[in-house]
A and B are shown apart, each in its own frame.
Chain A
Amino acid sequence: MKGIKTQNIFVPYKQDESLESIFSKADELLIRDKKKPLRMVLLEVANSKAKLLVSFIYEK
């Protein structure tokens, strides 16, 4: 069974890091959790962390 959802995730962030690099980190994090990343948007950066809203497919 496959589900799809959106949720917030956090990845480490360096000052003025490129968006592409932030998204790559989010991709890696989701894949590591056995989730297939789809879309993502950066919501904010604070305390060396980037907060993203991501949508992904997961297996149940």
Chain B
Amino acid sequence: MKNSKKKFIVASIIPTGIQCSIGGYIGDATLVTNRLAGVCDFLITNPNAVNGGAFNFQDKNVLYVEGYGIDQFFRKQIELSLPQKNNIGVILERLADTTAMNYVLKSIEAFQSVAGINIKKVEFIKPLKKSIRLHDGQFCGEVEDISPLLAAAKKLLKSGQIDAIAISTHIQVDNKYIRQHQKGLLPNPYGLLEALLSHSITDAFGVPSAHAPILTKKEIELFLFRSFDSDPRSALENISAAYLGSVLLGLDKAPRLMKYGEGEIKLEDIKALVVPLNCLRSIPVAWSRKYNIPIIQVRENRNIFKPLKGRTEKNIITVDTYDDAIREVLRLRKKAG
């Protein structure tokens, strides 16, 4: 299959860090993502929708594309390849916490030897200086110097054997934020900073990339043994000691980011964009409107965004549930023949 011309491809984006009722935890949007993928040839989605700690249960026709890569795709700056097996390079922060490091290194061994992930090389970096802050109910982040991360990625890619880069670093989050998030009171505190790290790689090198947090021994104890009153949607946190697995499984067959005009999947192939309620304010939405790609917003996926006052949103298909979104996608598919 070299050409996607006859393919029916949909994108479903579930932003991180906005407390989506579906997709606001880890991996809890996998079911709706797979159900949508069930009525498409391919479904493009962002890592947040399917990363589930140590696990990633995305179906084979789900295309795992980093958020900035999705933006570039919708802006017609890049195109995508069809999925193919990738060789993965891993960038790890070297922490003094041996329990944390052992879990991450064991994840690599496990996913290499059991899941058959091609992990070619691991580069270690010193911990990056990162910070997060809560502002107007949303987490913001900063990485003061991304040079070591970029240098490690360059080294991995120089070998010519690497197609995608997994990053795993420790993100210091106040325990009170974690507990509030686990109880459904705050957005995921990690997401935005994780996204910054993967954007850096995608921007600098144009390769698929995603980030998984490294948990310290203390955090593992907190997540695994002292959080059983947490929301069921965050339950994968209770059974994941290292999060790298979900990223490795996602990147395994992630589409490559191709120069514009050279990809097998083009924006013209996208038949619909599915977003949570009130998420009509992003780059993919802006360019979908420009190119007349139908946009479906799903009411049941509530989040911290309110309707934008002072704006009239025209030509948006609003449905109540993801089941309704599937019916709408099927209608579009029938119409497309």
Interface residues of A (CB under 8 A from B): 1-8, 15-16, 18-20, 22-23, 36, 38-46, 53, 55, 57, 60
Contact = CB atoms under 8 A, between A and B. Distances in A.
B309 A18 contact: no
A55 B308 contact: no
6 contacts: A2-B145, A3-B143, A4-B146, A5-B196, A6-B196, A42-B308
B287 interface: yes
Contacts of A16: 311-312
Given A44-B308, A45-B309, A55-B196, A4 B67 contact: no
Interface of B: 15, 67-68, 71, 135, 138, 140-147, 150, 192, 195-197, 199-200, 203, 280-283, 285-287, 289-290, 308-312
A39 B203 CA distance: 11
Contacts of B196: 4-6, 55
Contact of A40 (B135, B283, B309): B283
A50 B15 CA distance: 20
A46 B287 CA distance: 23
A39 B146 contact: no
B148 to A, nearest CB: 10
A43 B311 CA distance: 12
Most buried by B among A4, A53, A60: A4
